[in-house]
Amino acid sequence: MLSQLTDVTIYNAANEAISRKGTGILTEKKNHNSFDTQLQLSTPKLAQLKAGESYYAVGIRQNGAPTRTETVKCIVPGPKPVFQGSIPFTEKPKDFKPKPDAGSDADIFIQYTNYSSTQFDRSTWGFNLQVALGYPTNSPGPTLLANSGQQSIGAAQRLSWFDEGPADIYLCWASGSNFGVWIHFNFRMWGIGPRPIWYVTTNGSDWQLAGNDPSDPYTWDSAALGYNVAGTPTSGSASLSVNVIITDIKK
DSSP state of 202: S
pLDDT tens track for 134-166:
677 888 999 999 999 999 999 887 554 455 657
Domains and CATH numbers, the chain: 2-88 (no CATH), 108-247 (2.60.270.20)
Query: At 244, phi and psi to the nearest 5?
Result: -110, 125
pLDDT at position 44: 85
Q: For residues 107 and 190, which has the higher predicted lDDT (pLDDT)?
A: 107
Q: DSSP for 156-186?
A: EETTTTTEE--EEEEEEEEESEEEEEEEEE-
| Bridge partners (DSSP) listed for residue 85 | 37
Sheet containing 177-185: give its strands across: 143-144, 120-128, 167-175, 177-185, 197-201, 208-209
pLDDT tens track for 64-108:
889 999 889 999 998 899 999 987 766 655 554 555 444 447 789
| Bridge partners (DSSP) listed for residue 109 | 154, 241
pTM of the model: 0.81
Element (H, E) at 3: strand 2-12
Computed over its alpha carbons, how large is the radius of gyration of the chain? 19
pLDDT at position 164: 61
- Using omega within 30 degrees of 0 as the cis cutoff, is the peptide bond preceding 166 cis? yes
3-state class (DSSP) for residue 70 = coil
pLDDT at position 166: 77
Max CA distance (Å), the chain: 60
Q: Among candidates 210, 206, 188, which has minimal Cα distance to 198?
A: 210
| Bridge partners (DSSP) listed for residue 141 | none
pLDDT tens track for 208-245:
999 889 999 999 999 999 999 999 999 987 789 999 99
3-state class (DSSP) for residue 130 = coil
Q: Phi/psi zone of residue 71: left (φ > 0), alpha (ψ -120 to 50 degrees), beta?
A: beta
pLDDT at position 158: 58
